[in-house]
Amino acid sequence: FCECLYDSLCLAESLFTNYDNLAFFEEGKLGHIRLGQIPLLSDEYMIDYNPKLSDKRNFSLKMGAGNAYILGGRNFGKTLTEKIDMIESLMLNDGFPMGITSYDAVHIRGVMEPVINCLDNHPIVSCFKGRIKRSPTYLISSKTNATIEGINMNITNKAPGNQFFQKHFKKLWIEEASFETEEVYRKRVDSRHEAGCIERATGMTNFTKYSPAGRIFYDYSKKPWVLNLPQYVNPFWDDLEKVKAVKKYGGENSAGYRVFVKGEVVEEGVSVFDMERIRPYYLEGKKLKRFEVTKKTFKKYQSFLLLEKLKNAEQIFICADIGESAPTEIIILAKIGKKYRFTHNVTLFGLTHKEQYEIFVYLTSRLEANFIGLDTTDGTGRAILRSLEEVIPKENLISCAFNEKIPVDFEKDKNGRMVYKDGQPAYIEEYVSEWSVRHLKSLLYDGKIEIPEDCYKFDVQINSIVALQSSTRTIYDCVADENHLFQAFQVFAISEWMNVFNLVKPINIKKFSKGGV
């Protein structure tokens, strides 16, 4: 064992026999690192110091053996081997200042806590345990004087990447590297040690060609260190998993399937939203109020779904992307002056259309809503809308079918005069799916929608929208794992477009009795 201590593969298979719990150790039994995971382990430990070379040249050899950019599909062991590599680095990289970064605190915690658990409980690894701090940031030290510090990119903050200041890392793991922004990248580059930095980046291929991750992926000089694998290298992938994935992402040719299963970069896709224009309008220090209702908690939803209307709100919009087999995302926005503030997010899991209808009626009454916008592309949304029409005036309801067209302007001749057909003004029409994105973009760029700073789900999804050209149409697709919150905002964009000058009073729910309404 000691002879093979610096062989990362041998060490990993000797120390860890249960990869679901790295703290577990069974003497006399070896683990098994899969073939597709071997390149994910770092090999800089094998490079010994050569006194004939300069310190910088010695370290550049370690970088050559340790650098890796693993960008591919889901579930082939990227994060697992990252945790193993971190543990090995604490044992073998004497005196190294190291870091791990991701776009939010949740992802950093998801990696650091299993590493800490291993240091606390593994009979061999615990011999190397030094000090551990969880606040204000994660900081692990080992008895070899190596350290690993957690660095939150804070991509939704007004100063993203500031935690990299005054850091000088010799090794850095980048979790979910596809979400790194240009501003964070610039600050991260300045946090390298003067001798260099071993970079270990993992993530999906849900990036665009000119993003920091995209530039690395297409940089020919980095080709020896870039690994791109699909999800189906996982031995648990089979025909049943494929059927599930095809259903989840909407076909093998969909952007989601190509990214998260095949590990492809959607090269023909162009990023739709410029996040540098949107993020300055995030509300610093504000937190979004989130609620979840499942089929198990539905019966008691009134006991915890305690939403309050903002006192200075002039109008309330309740908009939703209705899920057939997926969750229903409900967003609530309050109009204050000329801006719309995103105040609540309610997610419904596994509810029938009748149960969802009941939730909408409850929210409408509690918040004194003015408008309810629903995604009616599929049958569930249309069924909920029909039920709502029985108790809510139609002027307060907005049907948003993404496969239909919407009038967006009057048709005019070359002299700028309005065109009439059969005595009626002729309209210019656009597909709802496309116009909703364009109008949402203008609302976000103009700062008319205020987003709480901690709404990472919104940031991830809006940053993952790409435009694909299909004959005469521009098709918008989301290369994030989910797009339901984004589609709820598309519904809001249409609702706002149709009612921007409509001063409708709060909804008065109709109540039925034996004698009528």
> Of 350, 349, 400, 406, which is closest to residue 371 (Cα–Cα)?
400
In a domain, 507, yes or no: no
Closest listed residue to residue 71, CA positions, set 252, 207, 185, 275 = 207
**Residues 198 and 292 grouped into a single domain:** no
Residue 209 or 199, more confident: 199
Domain contains 466: no
Q: Which CATH number goes with the domain that contains 283?
A: 3.30.420.240
Long-range pairs, 499-502, Cβ under 8 A, ≥24: 499/371, 499/398, 502/395
Identify whether residues 311 and 448 lie together within a single domain.
Answer: yes
The conformation of residue 371, written as its DSSP 8-state character, comes to E
Q: Is pTM, for the whole model, over 0.75?
A: no
Specify the pLDDT at position 274.
83
**Residue range(s) defining the domain that contains residue 356:** 274-404+433-454+483-499
Pair (209, 119) in one structural domain: yes
Would the pLDDT of 513 be above 50? Answer: no
193 shares a domain with 278: no
Q: Are residues 106 and 209 in the same domain?
A: yes
Q: Which residue has the tokens 């994030």?
A: 480
Q: Predicted confidence band at 255 (pLDDT cuts at 50, 70, 90)?
A: confident
Q: What is the CATH number of the domain that holds 122?
A: 3.40.50.300
**Residues 172, 316 share a domain:** no
Give the number of residues written for the chain.
Answer: 517
Q: Is the model's pLDDT at 472 over the cut of 80? A: no
User: What digits encode the pLDDT tens for the residues 68-104?
Assistant: 999 999 888 899 999 999 999 999 999 999 999 998 8
DSSP symbol at 238: -
Residues 210 and 338 in one domain: no
Q: Is 70 exceeded by the pLDDT of residue 449?
A: yes
**DSSP per residue, 27-57:** TT------GGGGGGS--GGG----TTS-HHH
One domain, residues 179 and 283: no
Identify whether 330 is part of a domain. yes
Same domain, yes or no: 49 and 169? yes
In angstroms, the CA 334 to CA 316 distance is 5
Domain co-membership, 8 together with 137: yes
- 52-68, pLDDT tens digit by residue? 999 999 999 999 999 99
Q: Do 223 and 279 reside in the same domain of the chain?
A: no
Asked if residues 402 and 433 have their Cβ atoms less than 8 Å apart, the reply is: yes
- Asked if residue 245 is part of any domain, the answer here is no
Question: How many domains is the chain partitioned into structurally?
Answer: 2
pLDDT tens digits along 411-425 = 777 777 777 777 777
Task: Assess contact for 227 and 68: CB atoms under 8 A.
Answer: yes
Residue 263 lies in a domain: no
In a domain, 32, yes or no: yes
In a domain, 334, yes or no: yes
| Nearest Cα to Cα of residue 261 among 282, 244, 280 | 244
Residues 134 and 215 in one domain: yes
Is 474 part of a structural domain of the chain?
Answer: no
